[in-house]
Chains A and B, each alone.
Chain A
Amino acid sequence: MSVELRDVGKRFNGTVALEDVTLEARPRELLALLGPSGSGKTTLLRVIAGLERPERGTLLISGKEALTLPPRERGIGFVFQHYALFRHLTVADNVAFGLVVRPRTRRPSRAAIADRVRELLSLVQLGDFGDRFPAQLSGGQRQRVALARALAVEPSVLLLDEPFGALDAKVRVELRHWLRGLHERLGLTTVFVTHDQEEALELADRVAILNAGRIEQVGPPGQVYDRPASGFVMEFLGEVNRLPCRVSGGKAHVGQCGPIVEASHLPDGCARAYVRPHEIKLLPADDPAGFPARVRSLSIIGPRTRLHLEQEDSIIEADVDRAVVDALGVAPGLVVGTQFLSVRIYPSS
C-alpha cells in the first residue's frame, strides 16, 4: 500500500511545522523520515496517522483520499516513541485492544482474539510475557509489545515514531536488524521517524531528509549520502568540514590558496565548501598538490587516526589511516599538505 502526501502544510500557533511537503512511500517500502528535532518529521507521521490535521494538502493511502478519514479507517498501525502502552492492562490485553474495541459485528470471538494475541506475541518473541504488565518489561520488550499491538489490527501501513530512540545502544542495533527482517516478512509499507542518520541509512530503502518543515531530499541511502542536494543534507549525513570559498566564473576557490573546484551551478560570490574527514589525504609538506596545514592534535582510534588541522583561519578534521600518519611522522606542530579527494560547493545559506 502506498502513502502519498501532496503539498501538505501545517502550522502550530503560527510556527511552520510542515511546508509544501510532497512525499511518497511506495508499496512495501521502508521509508525513513530523517531530520533534527523540530524539523517536522513527527508531525508528518502524525498527519499520516490522522492525529494531526494539516491546513493544506492532500493525503492518499493506497490511492484513496485519507485526510477525511478517522485514524481507525486509514489502515495504519502506529508505534509511539514512548510506546504508549496501556499501563493498567496486561501485555496480552494491550495487544488485544484493537480487536476488542471493534464493533460487535466485526469483532472476532474471544477465542479468536486469544489465538491472534498468542500468534503476535510469539512473532515479537514475547510468548511467555502475556500476563505481565508494561511496567514489568524492559524498554526493548515494551517496544515489541507496542509493535505487536499495532500489528493486531492488520494494518497495511506501519508508522513508527523514533522506534529506537529510548533504547540503549546494544538493544537498538539488535532491534534494527530484527525490524528490517519483520518488515520484509510482513510485506507492509513502513514509515519511520528518526534523528539518527546511521539508523536511517542502514535500515531504510529510501530516506527523506527534513529541515524546518521542508523536505530537503529524498532518495536511497547511497544516493543521499553521495550526492547531497544541499549543504544541510551534507552536514546532517555524517561528519563534515565546512570551509569558506569564493566562486567566480564557475570556479570555486577554497580558502586563500586552496584547491580550485568546478562550481558552474553557482553564481559569483561567497559559498561554502564541504569536505568529509575521511576524504582528506595527507601529503608531505613540500608536495605541490598539497594545501598546507599545521597539525594541532591527533588521536589514534584503532587503525584510524583523527587529526585536527589548522588551515588558514579554519580548523578542519581529518580521518586518515594509521600507516600514513606513521610514514609521514605526523606530530603536533608539524606542517603537512592536505589533498581533498572530494569537495562539494553549496551556496552559503
Chain B
Amino acid sequence: MAAERSLGESRIARLLLILAALALLALLLVLPLVLVFSEALAKGLAAYRAALGAPDTLASIRLTLLVAAIAVPANTLFGIAAAWCIAKFDVPGKSLLTTIVDLPLSVSPVISGMVFVLIFGAQGWFGPWLASHGIRVVFALPGLVLATIFVTLPFVARQLIPLMQHQGRDEEEAAIVLGAGGLQTFLRVTLPNIRWGLLYGVLLCNARAMGEFGAVSVISGHIRGATNTMPLQVEILYNEYNIVAAFAVASLLAFLALVTLTVKRLLEWRYGRELALTQSAT
C-alpha cells in the first residue's frame, strides 16, 4: 500500500491507464492483423486459395522470394564484414563506415528508389551505356535487388557491431597465438560467438526485404507478372477492388511477420543475454 501511495495513483486510475493502453494496442495492432486474415478468408477458403493461385500473384511471390534470396545473403556477408572491420580492427575511417551503415535507416525508402532510377534509368548516368549493352537495371530484377539491398543494408551490421565490440578481440588474439589462421579464427571463434545475433539480424533483414514497398515501388515500374513483388501486388489488387485477393497476399506477408516475431521471441528467450547486448542498438 505504501508503494502504491508513493506512486500517487489510486487503484482505479491505474486500472484505467492499463485498460487505455490495452485498448490502444488492440485498436492499432491486433485489430488490423485480425482484419487481414478475416478479410482474406471472407469468401471462404476456396476463394482464398484461388486468389493466391492467380498467375500474377504467384509471379509476385516468386519474385519476392528471389529478391530476398539475393539481397539477404548479400547483406549478411556485408554485415559480417563491416562489423568485423569496425569491431575488431583499428581501420581508418571507422566512424565514417559506422555512419554510412546507418544511412538507409535515415533516408526515406522512396528516395532510395529514386536514386537508383537516376543512376541506372534511361535518362540516368549509366542508362545509355547499359542500354547499349542490353542490360536492364531499372524496371527489372537487378533494380529491385539493388533497392532492396540498399534498404536492408543496416540490419545485420547493426545487430553485430555492438555484440562484436562487446566481445572484444581477446578470443581472436588467443586463437592467433595458438596458431589458427585468419579463416580458422573466423570460423572457429568469431562466428560461433555471434551466431545467434547473426540469425536475429538475418531474420529482421529478411522481413524487411520481403516487406519493402517504397524503394521497390519506384524502381519496379509495376509490370504485372514481371516486376511486381508481393507488397506491390497487394496495392494493385486493392486498387482494383479485389479485396479478397489483396488481403490474401497481405495475409502471407502478415504470416511472415508473425513467424519472424515468433522466432525472434524464441531466440530472445533462449539466448537473451547475448542478444540483450544487441538490443540497445536497434
Contacts and interface: CB of A to CB of B under 8 A. Distances in A.
A80 interface: yes
A125 to B, nearest CB: 21
Interface string B62-97: 000000000000000000000000000000000000
B171 A153 contact: no
Nearest to A87: B193
A192 interface: no
B173 A153 contact: no
A333 to B, nearest CB: 52
B192 A51 contact: no
A97 B175 contact: yes
A86 B176 contact: no
A152 B175 CA distance: 13
Given A87-B193, A88-B192, A101-B188, A82 B170 contact: yes
Contacts of A50: 177
A78 B177 contact: yes
B216 to A, nearest CB: 38
Q: Which of B170, B173, B176, B178 has the most CB of A within 10 A?
A: B178
17 contacts: A78-B174, A80-B170, A82-B170, A84-B170, A84-B173, A86-B174, A86-B175, A86-B189, A88-B193, A97-B178, A97-B180, A101-B175, A101-B178, A101-B179, A101-B188, A149-B174, A152-B178
Contact of B174 (A70, A76, A84, A102): A84
Given A72-B177, A86-B174, 19 more contacts: A72-B178, A72-B180, A78-B177, A80-B170, A84-B170, A84-B171, A86-B175, A86-B192, A87-B171, A87-B193, A88-B192, A97-B175, A97-B188, A98-B178, A101-B175, A101-B179, A102-B179, A150-B177, A153-B179
Contacts of A72: 176-180
B184 interface: yes
A82 B165 CA distance: 16
Interface in A79-107: 80, 82, 84-89, 97-98, 101-102
A49 interface: yes
Given A87-B193, A88-B193, A101 B180 contact: yes
A102 B179 CA distance: 7
A72 B174 CA distance: 11
A219 interface: no
A71 interface: yes
A92 B214 CA distance: 52
Contact of A98 (B173, B179, B189, B192): B179
A82 B177 CA distance: 15
Interface residues of A, number: 25
A84 B172 CA distance: 9
Contacts of A77: 177
Contact of A71 (B176, B189, B192, B193): B176
A51 B173 contact: yes
Chain B interface size range: 10 to 19
B interface SS class: helix
Nearest to B172: A84
A113 to B, nearest CB: 13
Interface in A126-185: 149-150, 152-153
B169 to A, nearest CB: 9
B274 to A, nearest CB: 10
A77 B174 CA distance: 9
Given A101-B180, A101-B184, A80 B175 contact: no
Contacts of A78: 173-174, 177
A82 B171 CA distance: 10
A85 B173 CA distance: 11
Nearest to B181: A101
B173 A149 contact: no
Contacts of A49: 177
Contacts of B175: 86, 97, 101
Contacts of B171: 84-87
A254 to B, nearest CB: 49
A82 B179 CA distance: 19
A149 B180 CA distance: 13
Contacts of A87: 171, 193
Interface in A282-321: none
Interface in B138-195: 170-171, 173-181, 184, 188-189, 192-193
A126 to B, nearest CB: 18
A76 B177 contact: yes
A77 B177 CA distance: 7
B72 to A, nearest CB: 24
A102 B188 CA distance: 13
Interface in B178-228: 178-181, 184, 188-189, 192-193
Contacts of A85: 171, 174
Contacts of A152: 178
Contacts of B181: 101
Contacts of B174: 78, 80, 84-86, 149
A51 B193 contact: no
Contacts of B189: 86
B59 to A, nearest CB: 43
Contacts of B170: 80, 82, 84
Contacts of B180: 72, 97, 101
